[in-house]
Amino acid sequence: MQPGGVPDMQQILAQAQKMQEQLMSAQEDLANAETTGSAGGGLVTATVTGAGELKSLTIDPKVVDPDDVETLADLVVAAVRDASTSAQQLAQERMGPLAGGLGGLGLPGM
């Protein structure tokens, strides 16, 4: 800060630029990261990117019962939900510090 308590705009802009670069890097890392979730003791597994895109789904043939499709559907939903929750936690871990950094710009009210 300059004398008198006025924030230095150059410093604020440089800090904002750095945060933007960090945010873009974290977003790219998340897009490339993958998390796996499972259900039914591993009979159904789902892989999701950090951005939430479903990449793969694996179903053990033992769980396929033509007379009980509902159970299979429930297991698929549970596995995808598990993987998505892991992806959200990963995003929060990687993006949380960046979101919290907005208050560090020295601007009132931030």
Where do the domains of the chain lie, and which CATH numbers do they carry?
A: 32-91 (3.30.1310.10)
**CA pair distance 26, 39, nearest whole angstrom:** 29
Beta strands in the chain (DSSP E): 34-39, 44-49, 54-59
- Each residue's pLDDT tens digit in the chain (110 positions)? 455 666 788 888 888 888 888 888 888 888 888 999 999 999 999 999 988 889 999 999 999 999 999 999 999 999 999 999 999 898 888 777 666 555 544 444 44
Beta bridge partners of 37: 46
- Which position has the token pair 């995808």? 80
Beta bridge partners of 49: 34
